[in-house]
Chain A
Amino acid sequence: MLPLETLALLADVVPAEPFPEGIAHYAVGGLLVGLGVTVIYLGTGIAAGASTFLESTLSYGSKLSRFDRYRASRDWRVVFTVGIVAGAAGYQLATGDGIWVTEVAWWRLLLGGILVGIGTRLGKGCTSGHGVCGVGSVSGTSFIGVISFLLVAIVTAHLVMAAGVTP
């Protein structure tokens, strides 16, 4: 998928082992995510992203004009999201590992979630909308969006680490 030179370059830049868990499950997962987007796109012409669901679902209970624009797609977006939950649940059941629970602190999830909710909707997309569909569309806007959130997230995560915030 990535040319070998790129990997070699990465390995030079990164002091530690860049892929301590290997790459197979990452590549397979990426292909499956792409396949899911492809199935919906070929059948419906829709490039589905994950973050619009937040606003379209809010239209069920809110009269705000901003959410109204997503009213037409709100039903299928619920189905899409339920599908994502069910797919992950099916995989987890198949592995027989039982449930997995994060150790990241609740306040980080809540505060981070609020910022993710604001940022993805203001910025017109998230990791799937810009990162997968937009980059796949060779969209300049999406490249800029991805670079924006990727760089800021990397800096933020390093600051969090430097501050010794665990879990």
Chain B
Amino acid sequence: MSTDGVRQEHEQHPLFLALVFVGGLLFGVGLAVSNMAQPEVVLSFLQFADFGLLFVMFGAAIVTGIVFFGAPRVLGSAPLTGKPYERRLKELDRNVVVGGGIFGVGWGLSGICPGAAYASLGIGNYAILWGIVGMFVGAYVQGYWRSTPTTSSVGTTKAD
């Protein structure tokens, strides 16, 4: 389905943005501690020189797995938004594989993914701006193409 469905009035909660910021801080520290903010280290995983990245991604996934499984069963709804706790489920279609493949080429070429790129800026890596600018350009290109109804074979007008 589309987005998080967060309504503006939910964002009026005085703690909402503060909590999101704290979550971002922890997320950023984690990417810095694990050296994922360094494209060279990510590339060393993709090139089979150091398998540490598996611990980062799956370590984080185990934590969220426990929480995403437990919260809907134990707790009612989120205190700051009133949203019910749900799992992150997206509809499966061809775009997931095609998009994943395109992302994979970019990731394998550069060693950057979005979260790690933001963290990379934090450790002073000004060169990562090339990558961040690139990501915005890429996001804009696909948005432009998907906002314009088209009859091309890959064009899609249905929402994801």
Partners in one complex: yes
A interface residues (Cβ-Cβ under 8 A, vs B): 1-2, 10, 14, 16, 18-21, 23, 25-55, 57-58, 62, 64-67, 69-70, 72-73, 75-76, 79-92, 98-104, 106-142, 144-161
Contact between B122 and A18 (Cβ–Cβ < 8 Å)?
no
- Give the A-B contact count at a CB cut-off of 8 A: 582
Interface size on B, residues (CB 8 A): 128
List chain B residues, Cβ under 8 A from A72. 3-8
Contact between A91 and B29 (Cβ–Cβ < 8 Å)?
yes
**Max count, chain B CB within 10 A of own CB: residue among A18, A81, A102:** A102
Given the known inter-chain contacts A30-B60, A44-B19, please indicate yes or no for A87 contacting B106, CB distance below 8 A: no
**Max count, chain B CB within 10 A of own CB: residue among A113, A135, A148, A158:** A113
Contact between B62 and A112 (Cβ–Cβ < 8 Å)?
no
List chain A residues, Cβ under 8 A from B22. 39, 83
Given the known inter-chain contacts A1-B62, A58-B143, please indicate yes or no for A148 contacting B114, CB distance below 8 A: no
B interface residues (Cβ-Cβ under 8 A, vs A): 2-8, 10-11, 15-17, 19-40, 43, 46-65, 67-68, 71, 75, 77-92, 95-128, 130-144, 146-147, 159-160
Please measure, in the bound complex, the distance between the C-alpha atom of A58 and the C-alpha atom of B39, giving whole angstroms: 25
B25 to chain A, nearest CB (A): 4
The 4 A-B pairs with the shortest beta carbon distances in the complex, nearest first, are A83-B24, A117-B138, A113-B134, A123-B99
Contact between B55 and A30 (Cβ–Cβ < 8 Å)?
yes
Contact between B23 and A39 (Cβ–Cβ < 8 Å)?
yes
Given the known inter-chain contacts A87-B27, A87-B29, please indicate yes or no for A131 contacting B84, CB distance below 8 A: no
List chain B residues, Cβ under 8 A from A124. 90, 95-96, 99, 160
Please measure, in the bound complex, the distance between the C-alpha atom of A2 and the C-alpha atom of B35, giving whole angstroms: 20
List chain A residues, Cβ under 8 A from B6. 44, 46, 72-73, 76
